[in-house]
């Protein structure tokens, strides 16, 4: 069910449980607030990551929302369900964050992210290939070598492990870490290049 559907359903009437929860939060009931935080924090962080593609930024956005709610508890006006309010607030904060970055080429940003999530890279995109090559040069040598064996030479994890005399789990871990580091390096270079 989409966020919009949830909002439409829940804005028509606020459930009794939500009214009680809102009143307790407005009274600064720490136990209720902590329970709300622990119930929603992981879900909201994952939701935010779908917008900003950055775990730390997502965590900051969600934490800042909860801080805002706690500090302004008596003034927070929730006219929908708590769940809809939280998701809607996180979505708006993510969009504001992206606006703050002044994204000029969001398609390129999403393309890089999607490319890093693929199992095979499209090396025919010379611009992106150059960016990946430059980022690879910044990785630890062994990690870069494993990445190149997998994605440039298209070797299997088993073949790489045998060639380098390491376990398959080591290869998998190094590939995962390489993708994470490449993502960070590429997105950082994009912030410099594409965001003002």
- The per-residue pLDDT for 193 is 45
The most confident of the ranges 70-74, 109-113, 176-180 is 70-74
- The per-residue pLDDT for 41 is 97
Q: Which long-range contacts (CB under 8 A, 24 or more apart) does 97-106 make?
A: 97/51, 97/52, 97/57, 97/61, 98/51, 98/52, 101/191, 101/195, 102/195, 102/196, 103/194, 103/195, 104/194, 104/195, 104/196, 105/194
- Whether 82 and 46 have beta carbons less than 8 Å apart is answered as no
The answer, yes or no, to whether residue 194 has pLDDT greater than 70, is no
- Whether 48 and 97 have beta carbons less than 8 Å apart is answered as no
Q: pLDDT tens digits for 80-133? A: 789 999 999 999 898 888 776 655 455 556 666 666 655 555 555 566 677 778
Distance CA 184, CA 192 (A): 12
Q: 106-194 architecture in CATH?
A: Orthogonal Bundle (1.10)
- The per-residue pLDDT for 35 is 93
Q: Is it true that domain 3-101 has CATH number 3.40.50.1010?
A: no
Confidence band, pLDDT 50/70/90 cuts, at residue 195: very low
Distance CA 153, CA 50 (A): 31
Closest CA relative to residue 81, chosen from 18, 34, 9: 18
The answer, yes or no, to whether residue 14 has pLDDT greater than 50, is yes
pTM of the prediction?
A: 0.49
Displacement of CA 109 from its chain's centroid (Å): 13
93 CB-near residues (< 8 Å, 6+ apart): 48, 61, 64, 65
Lookup: tokens for 174: 């190094």
How would you class 72 by CB atoms within 10 Å of its CB: exposed for 0-12, middle for 13-18, buried for 19 or more?
Answer: exposed
Confidence band, pLDDT 50/70/90 cuts, at residue 154: confident
Domain definitions of the chain by residue range: 3-101, 106-194
């Amino acid at each position: 069910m989409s966020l919009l559907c949830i909002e439409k359903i829940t804005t028509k009437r606020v459930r009794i449980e939500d009214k009680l929860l809102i009143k307790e939060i407005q009274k600064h009931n720490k136990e209720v607030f902590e329970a709300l935080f622990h119930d929603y924090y992981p879900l909201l962080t994952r939701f935010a990551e779908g917008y900003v593609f950055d775990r730390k930024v997502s965590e900051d956005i969600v934490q800042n929302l909860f801080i805002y709610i706690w500090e302004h508890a008596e003034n927070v006006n929730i006219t929908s369900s708590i769940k809809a309010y939280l998701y809607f607030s996180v979505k708006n904060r993510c969009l504001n964050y992206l606006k703050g970055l002044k994204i000029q080429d969001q398609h390129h940003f999403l393309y890089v992210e999607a490319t890093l999530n693929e199992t095979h890279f499209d090396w025919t995109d010379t611009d992106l290939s150059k960016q990946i090559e430059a980022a690879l040069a910044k990785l630890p040598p062994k990690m870069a070598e494993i990445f190149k064996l997998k994605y440039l030479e298209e070797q299997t994890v088993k073949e790489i492990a045998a060639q380098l005399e390491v376990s398959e789990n080591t290869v998998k871990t190094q590939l995962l870490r390489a993708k994470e580091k490449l993502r960070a390096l590429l997105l950082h270079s994009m912030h410099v290049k594409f965001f003002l």
